[in-house]
A and B are shown apart, each in its own frame.
Chain A
């Protein structure tokens, strides 16, 4: 907006600093908004507050120890983060993962996708302005899933449960019943969210046609995951390059049309239904068997001069591991391709020209985990 100023009277754009300590920056993200009244004219994101050098640390740790660091790069979906890492190691070491281990991994990864998406729904609901209710709904269901993870791996967030070759130890005897129990409560939680938000007029008014990003822009910015699919690009690595046994599983990839905040919300909600569907199929296929390859060396060593890039579909998008080995029991170089970092690039494009309140929910709709952005 151009303001014709009377002589001697100037208007000035206001700079607002949001974060790193702000209720809705999802961690320690900071953005500086340049606003004209309520309209955002420019947005400068600042990242790096949570940088811990996880990749570098992994270069000094063997492949069992590295798993623990992978947990901490993506603390809302640790299983998915571990998966990429162990898959990279397995591919280089040419390890054959036993079938049972694969199915369990798939179940755990999908459960983790559920818990991560619940977290998104909760935080997003609060960003849009419901006073806390979505958050508690989300945590109610997430709690059930995390309790299950705790019974399996012993920890609630940093599972350190996947190992190159298979799993650290067997799942408890009542695993299948417990997963089914959790799925029941998960369905209830999804229904509650659907009823609470999806058709609420105020929610629709707030989210529809807000923060639109076109499919071309999304692809060009390297976005991935639900944030990309909401723009109408049907790219899901589980379908495009099936890993584990995703090719034997029947599931759909929900795709948005508009690329706005509402689509990003809906795509995630729909994706959760698919995850439940996947888990049910995996449970049906689960068989007895070993969880580690027969001949596992005590200390895993990789062949010399090899490199690999493995990507998997984490809840937030493509979680990739680039691993270079120069022999020995440690990676020579490890690089994490973080979905959040790429998705975050779109923030400015989506937010400029929108209202301040929209910038907040746009950030929420990208669903970033700062530990993954900064690593």
Chain B
């Protein structure tokens, strides 16, 4: 066979090599991200961050990694061995599968899939199973609560995320990430879909279990949630997955909303420029995530759910409907900009209405107002 080596098709070999490169690259990127997050968070909090390992603490992630690898891999006696030990992989593998479709630059991806966006959503939601397995298998009550929270949260935020991506795909008229990027070479999608952008960022934060949606791992409540019992290399898998997911979400954000490597300088750029553009756009998203993490408190599980089902989801549906109408009747696209902006206003109003104090329901604790004792 002309297109094969040792009976393996070139296409497969090519994909395997690309995937390997990505896995290698990812580990480095994740280490960098961990360092950058610590430094940036420190700066937001007027701290110094890591300073002691290497110049300006640059080797902190390496030191952390070495420590984690060297640590004993503990398993609680009553833990369910299979569930407990498989859970990290179940979290880790889906995240890495996502990298198959991510366009780093023109022609730089593992595969161009026709249903790329759907594929991304499908793989990323698989990770939830790993979380639940970790929570269930650790035989720890914090972990179990965390796992259940993760499941609830993952399922509810999957929908707004999917809908937001779908509505972008409608405007770009493709699910193929490469085509989506190419279609934005003059105007990025965020111009037509501002509301969807906001929904995507919110749902993305929830998907990544980042503040204000870090409920499953809530440090001050369930002390790390499903990861409570993990140590050493298994724990580092969770960590790796978390940051890899952050990175991939940033890349998707760059590709879907910011025009990836194509906007604003057109698609005929050199590869170096393209990569730089994508890096900048991705960093923007990641910086935003860090910034939000340093600034806002955590929501409660019921508030999280009602926010998703009562506010985000209807708005996302509405946007899809409007998109459909505008595209079918071939109305000018700026209508979408206006409706999107209006949508953001509605979102803000709804959030503000939601936090307005509700009447007290529990009658045994009704306040009796001012009473002066002295």
Contact = CB atoms under 8 A, between A and B. Distances in A.
A and B touch in the complex (CB under 8 A): yes
A214 B300 contact: no
A232 B374 contact: no
B3 interface: no
A144 to B, nearest CB: 13
Interface in B284-326: 293-303
Interface stretch (A67-75, A196-204, A294-302): A196-204
A128 B301 contact: no
A182 interface: no
Interface stretch (A2-10, A254-262, A273-281): A254-262
Given A132-B41, A357-B221, A357-B300, A140 B46 contact: yes
A129 B373 contact: no
A235 interface: yes
Interface stretch (B59-67, B233-241, B355-363): B355-363
A202 B369 contact: no
Nearest to A259: B367
B145 A130 contact: no
Contact of A214 (B144, B218, B367): B367
Interface in A79-93: none
B226 to A, nearest CB: 15
Given A201-B351, A257-B367, A133 B212 contact: no
Interface string B362-374: 1001111111111
A296 B136 CA distance: 69
A276 B2 CA distance: 84
A127 B365 contact: no
Interface string A210-238: 00111111010000000000011111000
A24 interface: yes
B72 interface: no
B355 A204 contact: yes
Given A133-B44, A133-B295, A257-B370, A127 B220 contact: yes
A360 B374 CA distance: 31
A203 B210 CA distance: 16
Contact of B373 (A125, A204, A235): A235
A348 B144 CA distance: 24
B223 interface: yes
Contacts of A202: 212, 296-299, 355
A345 interface: no
A258 B352 contact: no
B214 interface: yes
| Interface residues of chain B: helix, strand, loop or mixed (majority) | loop
A217 B364 CA distance: 10
B296 A213 contact: no
Given A38-B145, A205-B354, A233 B372 contact: yes
Given A23-B223, A132-B41, A233 B294 contact: no
B218 A357 contact: yes
Given A212-B362, A214-B365, A356-B221, A203 B297 contact: yes
B145 A23 contact: no
A125 B297 contact: yes
Given A16-B142, A212-B367, A355-B301, A234 B293 contact: no
B372 to A, nearest CB: 5
B330 interface: no
Contacts of A201: 351-352, 354-355
Contacts of B44: 133
Contacts of B142: 16
A172 B142 CA distance: 51
B39 to A, nearest CB: 14
B156 interface: no
Given A127-B220, A132-B41, A205 B300 contact: yes
A41 B142 CA distance: 17
Nearest to B359: A209
23 contacts: A16-B141, A23-B223, A24-B220, A38-B301, A38-B302, A128-B297, A129-B298, A130-B211, A197-B297, A200-B296, A202-B212, A202-B355, A205-B300, A206-B297, A206-B299, A209-B358, A213-B365, A214-B368, A234-B374, A239-B374, A258-B357, A259-B365, A357-B298
Interface of A: 14-17, 22-24, 35, 38, 125-133, 135-137, 140, 196-197, 200-206, 208-209, 212-217, 219, 231-235, 239-240, 255, 257-259, 349, 353, 355-358, 360
Interface of B: 41, 44-47, 141-142, 144-145, 211-212, 214-215, 218-223, 293-303, 351-352, 354-355, 357-358, 360, 362, 365-374
